Amino acid sequence: MVELPQVIRARIEAPHIWYVATVNRDGSPHVSPMWVGLDGDLVLFNTSVGRVKERNLRRDPRVCLSHADPDDPYDRVQIRGRAVRFVGGPEADRTMDALARVYRGTDRYEWGIPGEERVVVLIEPLRVSRVVGVEPLPKGAPGA
């Protein structure tokens, strides 16, 4: 696990939409806009049991979270990691309500679907990068 720099922790704790990419069974990417938060050094998001991202991560825990600063879309962050824990039940409902307070300013998550089961997905960050401006060329690339 890598440590999240404070500047990135602040972005995660702010009400910014992050894009969560998982790997479909056929190897293609699946990307969803998500609310995210922190649980200690782990990044989290909340979804419903049965959604594509939840099924993908139970089969293949690799995940990438991406965010561009809304004031400067050329200032962007990527967090690559793996899903290390899934938490359901009342704790998942409480976490969803906590995310709704940050993102919507409401006490409760207001878009629940009758009968759905919420699940918190906890992500261990393995690689964190921040690029501002043009991404540098990798070593050995033409022009590098």
pTM over 0.75: yes
User: CA nearest 20: which of 10, 34, 2?
Assistant: 34
pLDDT digits (tens, 9 = 90+) for 116-144: 999 999 999 999 999 999 888 889 888 77
pLDDT digits (tens, 9 = 90+) for 49-105: 999 999 999 999 999 999 999 999 999 999 999 999 999 999 999 999 999 999 999
Give the pLDDT score at 137: 86
- CATH among 1.10.530.10, 3.40.190.80, 3.40.50.11540, 2.30.110.10 for 6-132: 2.30.110.10
CB 24 within 8 A of CB 40: no
